Amino acid sequence: MSSRFKRTAYRAWHRAVFRLQTACGMLDVKRQPAQTIFLHIPKTAGSSVNEYFASFTGSRGSDRFLPIDMYKGDDYYSEVSEEGLEKAHAAMYVTGHFDWHTLEAIRRPDAFVFTFLRDPAERLLSFYHYIHHIDERKQTNSSQKAWFSGLKSLTLEEFCAGDDPDGLYATNNLMVRQMAGRQIGTAATDAPFEEMLAQALKNLQTLNYVGFQNSFDNDFQALVKKTGFPPLRLPKENITKKLAVYPGPAYVAKAGKQDILKLAAPRLAWDIKFYQQAQSLVPEINKRPFIKA
């Protein structure tokens, strides 16, 4: 059975169950958000999350489901276009690797906004292996093609601790940069990370829900319960495992978390502080009820 057929069947089943539960009064649809936004930090189970919400809002081709990254220009570092911001503001579900600056541009007063966090070293390790499972020759965006090719040409040491601009953009305390404001223009090693950490933590506390990768199943069920969506079985989508390996010349297939911790310590330091402090803040964030405007 093809993966495409499985996805179609999964979505159709969810929609049927959703309609049945609604008709029987088992769900309080009045409590469901008019707009749901997933601020997707790379390599934090985003494929599974998006597959679930696509079951209720529609396919990626509809106006209701919007992967906002598709509205970036050909330049990998470019920001979301005005057209993309306009479409995102009207969509029911918005997802993407956008930063806080973009979120502020699309977030409606009645929006339910959530994210998932992951241990910084594990996240970076997952990203390292992911880029070596991408065939950059098949990328339709010339900027992304060059970006993947450039990252794959780096040794593990250069990826973790070098001064390559693409490497820095992808690795240098990305969670703090994404949550603090702009990812673009903040990847330099002399960026004001102490100030950015404080802003990232402040921003985090305005979200409606925050989950963690290491407790994903339970956290996701708590998320959909808070939004009023049905707690149906979540599809497990691991993109990397489904891809063939297209390694760069210096790919270390056996690289593990300890390698990342040893080599990328400065590039993880502020993300680790953010992650540790977030763990103490999240219970209070998630305890707050979501009241639909």
pLDDT, tens only, 112-125: 999 999 999 999 99
Structure token digits, residue 181: 């404001």
Instruction: Spell out the residues 6+ positions from residue 255 whose beta carbon is closer than 8 angstroms to its own.
Output: 125, 128, 129, 156
User: In this structure, what DSSP letter does residue 290 have?
Assistant: P
Length of the chain: 293
Domain count, the chain: 1
What pLDDT is attached to residue 53?
A: 84
Please check whether residue 52 lies inside any domain of the structure. Answer: yes
Please check whether residue 248 lies inside any domain of the structure. Answer: yes
What pLDDT is attached to residue 8?
A: 63
Please check whether residue 218 lies inside any domain of the structure. Answer: yes
Query: From CA 3, how far away is CA 10, in angstroms rounded?
Result: 10
Query: From CA 135, how far away is CA 55, in angstroms rounded?
Result: 29
Q: Considering the entire predicted model, what is its pTM?
A: 0.90
Please check whether residue 40 lies inside any domain of the structure. Answer: yes
Q: Give the structural domain span for 53.
A: 3-287
Which of these, 244, 266, 240, lies nearest to 157 by C-alpha position? 266
Q: Could you report the per-residue pLDDT of 152-163, keeping only the tens digit for each?
A: 999 999 999 999
Please check whether residue 85 lies inside any domain of the structure. Answer: yes
What pLDDT is attached to residue 142?
A: 83
What pLDDT is attached to residue 230?
A: 77
Q: Extract the residue ranges of the chain whose pLDDT is less than 50.
A: none
Please check whether residue 262 lies inside any domain of the structure. Answer: yes
CATH number of the domain residue 236 falls in? 3.40.50
Q: Could you report the per-residue pLDDT of 129-185, keeping only the tens digit for each?
A: 999 999 998 887 888 889 999 999 999 999 999 999 999 999 999 999 999 999 989
